[in-house]
Amino acid sequence: MLADAGYGLSAPFRQGLDARGLKWAVGILKRQKVYPSNVGLVFPIAGRGRPRKRHIPDQLSAPAEDVLATAKWRRVSWRKGTKGPLAASFAAVRVRIADGPPQRIHEKGMQHMPGEQAWLVGERRASGERKYYLSNLPPDASLKTLAAAIKARWVCEQAHQQLKEELGLDHFEGRSWHGLHRHALMTMIAYAYLQSRRLAEASGGKKNPPTAAQADTARDPPRRARHSRSRAALSMPALQANAPKTPRINLPK
């Protein structure tokens, strides 16, 4: 499941994907708080007043931008484009997302507790722009695997654009939820069919390849027709020598 920061900043959205057992990579804002992966929970001893009843993390959370500032960045190419390999600088750190229940932590006030572990990924583009992502891919995932998963969203966006521009995904004018789902389903079926045809032609695989004679006819029909006429003429029987001649009729001028 891939999503931009508009969805990635929602903790319930990410937690819902985890509950369904889905792998995801989403964009986030640079101020998203995260904890180190080795953060622990401690029970603080109150110096005065009532004793504390809840554990707190032994390390404070920090924005994603600050965490990746000291990380090791490496140039990674995720696929080949029309103008050559697509590459950028990436860095990845294993963290725990600060999306747990809120808890008062010392003088920091209410802070979110550590959640599940995930990959915090940063991207530095050639233009100088920086992007940040979270992903729940396995801990042994390589940096190239993380970059390829994040950049696969471009393919999804292209598919969505073609569904709207070529197949009318955005032309639904009904008012019912079921009608919208049926319209989206039909456009996706049409898109899948067209994609299968495109891939079949690109790979050169055809279910009914033409025969050699059909290929020759399609390639050079005039020459093929000439040869057919010449062979037909040679196969005609010769005229008999004693065949009666057709009488000649002179019409008046």
Domain residue ranges in the chain? 2-151, 163-202
Confidence of residue 14 (pLDDT cuts 50, 70, 90): very high
Ranking 27-31, 150-154, 237-241 by mean pLDDT, the lowest is 237-241
**Calpha distance 95→118 (Å, rounded):** 6
In this predicted model, what pLDDT tens digit does every residue of 104-158 receive, in sequence order? 877 777 888 999 999 999 999 888 899 999 999 999 999 999 999 999 887 777 7
Indicate whether 236 pLDDT > 80.
no
Q: 105: which DSSP letter?
A: -
Kindly state the helix (H) or strand (E) to which residue 25 belongs, with its residue range. Answer: strand 25-28
CB contact at 8 A, 86 and 151: yes
- State phi, psi for 53 to the nearest 5 degrees: -110, -5
Q: What percent of the chain is predicted at pLDDT more than 70?
A: 77
Q: Tokens standing for 42? A: 């401690």
In this predicted model, what pLDDT tens digit does every residue of 168-196 receive, in sequence order? 888 888 888 888 899 888 899 988 888 89
Residues 6+ apart with CB under 8 A from 75: 87, 88, 89, 90
- State phi, psi for 170 to the nearest 5 degrees: -95, 15
Indicate whether 239 pLDDT > 50.
no
